[in-house]
Amino acid sequence: MLKTLVFFTCFLFFTSLSNAQDSITKPESENESEIIVLDEIPIYPGCERKRSNKKLKKCMSDKISKFITKNYNLDVFKSLDLPASDYTVYIIFKLDKEGEIIEAKARGPHPKLEKEAVRVINGLPKMTPGKIKGKPVIIPYSIPVYLSNR
């Protein structure tokens, strides 16, 4: 019997989990980086009433996880007949200045899994963009998608 578990975790690309969505690492040269702090973090639709950044981040992470779980076609994974194991598809994308998903890419154990991950991420709803000094900024994200057929 094939059991499939899909688990998703969101965090800001280039920062630690504790600083997710609060800062962006901006390379100034090959040897040094500058941390830029967001004045306003991105907001997923339905999370607007959350008041603290911690609650906004959790809401966004939960909503993205639910979206991916609902929309990821697990039949793609099941149809590949991969050996019984745990697999990870890594997705990177950016939230642009208008709150749209751009430059979605994925790396995983099979091109069909990568294509499905990009399709799902590109379907995320428009969000309120993050801001620095009142101006919208592009924010990179990374999401590992864990799949298991054990």
Quick check: 2 pLDDT over 50? no
Put simply, whether the predicted model's pTM sits higher than 0.75 gets the answer: yes
Model confidence band, residue 26 (pLDDT cutoffs 50, 70, 90): low
Which of 47-51, 64-68, 123-127, 128-132 has the highest mean predicted lDDT (pLDDT)?
123-127
Given this model, what pLDDT does residue 118 score? 97
| Residue 12, pLDDT above cutoff 90 | no
Q: Residue 94's closest CA among 131, 62, 113, 122?
A: 122
Report phi then psi at 127, rounded to 5: -120, 170
pLDDT at residue 62, rounded to an integer: 92
Distances (CA, A) of 99 to 7, 74, 110, 137: 24, 27, 29, 9
